Structure 1
Amino acid sequence: MRFILLLLLFFLAICSTNAQNTDSTQIKNDKLDDIYIRETEDKPGRDKVLHAEPLYIDLIRDLGARKGEKEWNVGLGITDNKNFDQYTALVEYEFAPIDRLGLEVELPFSISYPTESAVVAPKSKLNSFKLAAQYSFFVSEKLNTSMAVGYIHEFELTNFSSYGKERLFTGNVYNPFFVAAKRWGQNFHTLLYTGPQLFQHFAENRIESSHTIWQINSNFHYMIDGTRNFIGIEFNKELSRQDFDMTIRPQMRVGLAENLLIGIVTGIPIKRENERFSTFLRLIYEPGHKTK
């Protein structure tokens, strides 16, 4: 009986110690979260709220961007289509010339290979020369909420093999958009990105055709305690007059150094009409960024 009583007391002591350690770790993580949030929001300048930025349909610059912020992105991806595989790459540079205004230049590439001998795959090309701007018109640290409007213009380009044979610019893409984001507590982040894409294609010196697609992208992320790392999911939806498509993109971001991050994304379409599974990697370099 005495042995059982001693064993019970020993067990209770272990449980108490573990509970104290768990509480201590949680308190430490909460403090680290608070320090990192304050580091982002309490710098000199206008208000800014820390938000998790989606990795596939990314923003032009952080919401509430401050003058002097800048970032390089390199992306690599592969998509398994029904009749061909498509490899994609992008290089982009984004910066904030003044508070709350972000500008971006992007060069997206695509290379396609047929999966069957009788299939003709799209030709390889620099898809477009993309210019973009985004302005955060509402930033509230009290509400942990930010809103922005922006515009992306793409000058679509012809295939590599057609350089010098056909006109270089084959059309335009006009894309105004709206962004709203909110952080719930210290770890949970939600974001909505939406707007129309108007495609305008050329033939000789006249407009050949045009069509419009609406983008509705909703995002949910959880930022890991005391880090810049997160896990999350994007729901990328496209709506046109004839069709509706949605791709679910689970993702994670991991910090490799204080100014270098990598994002990993998987694409899962809800309908496999043409596009199947895809993967995408984004390497993010922030010159001059330092954490305390």
Structure 2
Amino acid sequence: MERKNLKNTLIYTFLVLIGSTGYAQNSDSISLSPKVKHMEPLYIDLVRDLGARKGEKEFNLGSDFLNTNNYREYAVLAEYEFAPIDRLGLEIETDFSFYDKTNSESQIPENKLDKLILSAQYSFFVSPKYQTTMAIGYAHEFELTDFNSYDSAKFVTGMVYKPFFVAAKKWGESFHTLIFTGPMMSHNFDETYTSVDWQINTSLHYNIPNTHHFIGVEFNKEVVDSEFEMTMRPQLKLQLNEAFAVGLVAGFPIDNEKEKFSSFFRLIYEL
């Protein structure tokens, strides 16, 4: 009888362990909200991954070089983004701009901490079945005065209000498309009116199979003062390890007579 009871006890314990393991695995899968891995543009990047999961964090450093008819612009940015809850991404960004004349008669902007941007993005539709994600968001820009005017002018010179919509789809195993669009409402404190421009950014990316590297192109389009402007930005992302990635972008103006060739570099660190 003792052997029989011991045998029954062992069998019962084994079955309980199997059941609890299966339950733990199911619980882990249930605890993770659905998410589709989309390739994110490198120049006009998103607040956080579409379908962000609670606890995700990322830090970015970027540098931008722009050549115009009158001056060269060197810009540096720093971004910190995180997801406090599933599907919600928050971001804080600072941009510095420095200028250099292309000729002695050029009038150029002053060097400055260009702007402070606070952004939020919520993925309201995430469908692994259709490999599609859609999100809405808002970015609030504080435009700041130049370094030389800190003592004699307002520190904040204006605001830019930027609600936006994002839709992305994965096609098969490697191709990704995305659209990022919305109005840009600029209010300069020295003026009595608010100007409204539009941005319509589209992108196509190819994820190299069995890697986290991708190549692609962004088409950054804006309607500014009723004039259409577009810059094409081919790009490459190299995933160095699980945490670090590097993004390289070139800019070619298509319908923008003021700008010439530009380049952009982004260092990405996922915490």
Scaled to the shorter chain, the TM-score interval is: 0.7 to 0.9
Cα drift, residue 77 of structure 1: 1.1
Tell whether 2:81 aligns with 1:94: yes
Cα drift, residue 143 of structure 1: 0.5
Cα drift, residue 209 of structure 1: 3.7
- Contact kept? 2:115, 2:144, Cα under 8 Å: yes
Paired with 1:164 and 1:98, the residues of 2 have a C-alpha distance of 41
Q: Give the aligned CA root-mean-square deviation in angstroms.
A: 1.1
User: 2:118 — aligned with what?
Assistant: 131
User: 2:181 — aligned with what?
Assistant: 194
Q: 2:208 aligns with which of 224, 248, 262?
A: 224
User: 1:286 — aligned with what?
Assistant: 270
User: 1:158 — aligned with what?
Assistant: 145
User: 1:168 — aligned with what?
Assistant: 155
Distance 1:272 1:178, change over 3 A: closer
- Secondary structure of the residue aligned to 2:148 is helix
Q: Gapped runs of 5+ residues in structure 2?
A: 1-28
So what's the TM-score if we normalise by structure 2?
0.88
Bigger shift: 239-248 or 165-174?
A: 239-248
User: 2:230 — aligned with what?
Assistant: 246
Paired with 2:248 and 2:215, the residues of 1 have a C-alpha distance of 10
So what's the TM-score if we normalise by structure 1?
0.81
Q: Over residues 42-97 of structure 1, what are the superposed CA-to-partner deviations in whole Å (9 max), with x where a residue is unaligned?
A: 69411000100000000000000000000000000100110100001100000000
Paired positions, count = 243
In structure 1, give the amino acid aligned to 2:214: F
- Contact kept? 2:231, 2:256, Cα under 8 Å: no
Tell whether 2:263 aligns with 1:276: no
User: 1:85 — aligned with what?
Assistant: 72
- Secondary structure of the residue aligned to 1:86 is strand
Tell whether 2:90 aligns with 1:103: yes
Cα drift, residue 121 of structure 1: 1.1
How high is the sequence identity, in percent, across the aligned residues?
Answer: 54
In structure 2, give the amino acid aligned to 1:109: F
Structure 1 segments, 4+ long, off by >4 Å, are none
Q: Over residues 215-238 of structure 1, what are the superposed CA-to-partner deviations in whole Å (9 max), with x where a residue is unaligned?
A: 001110000011110000000000
User: 1:178 — aligned with what?
Assistant: 165
Cα drift, residue 240 of structure 1: 3.5
Bigger shift: 207-216 or 270-279?
A: 207-216
- Secondary structure of the residue aligned to 2:189 is strand
Q: Gapped runs of 5+ residues in structure 1?
A: 1-41, 288-292
